[in-house]
Amino acid sequence: MKFLKILLLSPLALLRLFLTILSSGLISSLGFVWLKLFGQSRGLQRITMSSWGKSVLFSCGVKIDRNELPKFNNYILMPNHRSYLDIFIVSGYTPSAMVAKAELSSWPFLGMAMKVAGVIAVNRKDTRSLISTMVKIKDSVSKGIPVALFPEGTTYKGPLTKKFKSGSFKIAADSGIPVIPMAIEYRDKNDAWVDDDKFVPHFFRQMGKPITHVTVRYGEPLIDSDYKKLRSATKAYIEKMLLEIQKG
């Protein structure tokens, strides 16, 4: 009954949900046909991810204030994680091979989109999957395809960040891959999708608003052969940018 009331009171959110599903289905389907005809390529990945991310953000009324990404071809992008919208923000403005939870492949159209975009799926409960993911990250960057992942491993409301996982930093440190810190902050703290909050009710509460304001900041690339120092420096950089955003 409560959920039905949310639906009836949020026609704007209902329209946005429809447009999100429509654009996601159309773009992933076209990309999948292209993938089958011509195979995977960096161009296909960039166009598909950028188009998908920006179309969803536009449909959902998400307004982004961001600086420019440093000009590097090979890197691992490390954003903090607040909401499911972070995925579309990264896809739209920093197309890369994203590392995502394997269970996301069961979402409508998302499984197809993940194949087209070259997403690296990981099952965090399976040690073999984690090892395979590390190999795929290194292989992707070596081929000139940047990788994006959320080092916190889950969403967090803030104000700063949760503990960072070490695996990806070890890969970056051992391989000399630059890490680009990325800060994502929402003007409305309640836009964060965390804990046991269900996706659809949260979507309707958030998307019933005319505009969702998000600030994005890219930091300078960090390189260190010591993964612990690299992890610490990345975390500190992201938190510094978050504090600057919060202070306005």
Helix runs in 39-63, H state only: 42-59
SS3 track for 196-216: CCCHHHHHHHHHCCCCEEEEE
DSSP letter for 163, please.
Answer: P
What is the reported pLDDT for 106? Answer: 64
**Tokens coding 42:** 């960096």
The CA–CA distances, whole Å, from 178 to 148, 169, 239 equal 12, 10, 18
DSSP at 222 = B
The model's pLDDT over 39-69, given as tens digits with 9 standing for 90+, comes to 878 888 889 889 999 999 999 999 999 999 9
- In this prediction, residue 107 carries a pLDDT of 64
For the chain, which residues make up each domain, given as ranges? Answer: 2-247
DSSP letters along 105-131, please? GGSTTHHHHHHHTT-EEE-TT-HHHHH
Question: pTM of this prediction?
Answer: 0.89
pLDDT of residue 177: 92
Q: By C-alpha distance, which of 208, 221, 149, 216 is closest to 180?
A: 221
| pLDDT tens profile 83-93 | 999 999 999 99
pLDDT of residue 5: 57
* Residue 241 CB contacts under 8 Å (≥ 6 apart), including other chains: 181, 183, 217, 219
- pLDDT one-digit tens code per residue, 5-36: 555 557 888 899 899 989 988 988 888 888 88
**Beta strand ranges found along the chain (DSSP E):** 62-66, 76-79, 97-101, 120-122, 147-148, 179-186, 212-218
Q: Kindly state the average pLDDT of the residues 151-159.
A: 92
Does the structure show a pLDDT above 60 at 1? no
77 - beta bridge partners? 148, 180
Q: How many CB atoms lie within 10 A of CB 233?
A: 18
Whole-angstrom Cα distance, residue 147 to residue 32?
A: 21
40: amino acid identity, one letter: Q
Angle of helix 167-175 versus helix 227-247 axis, rounded to 10 = 110
- Token readout for 91 is 């896809």
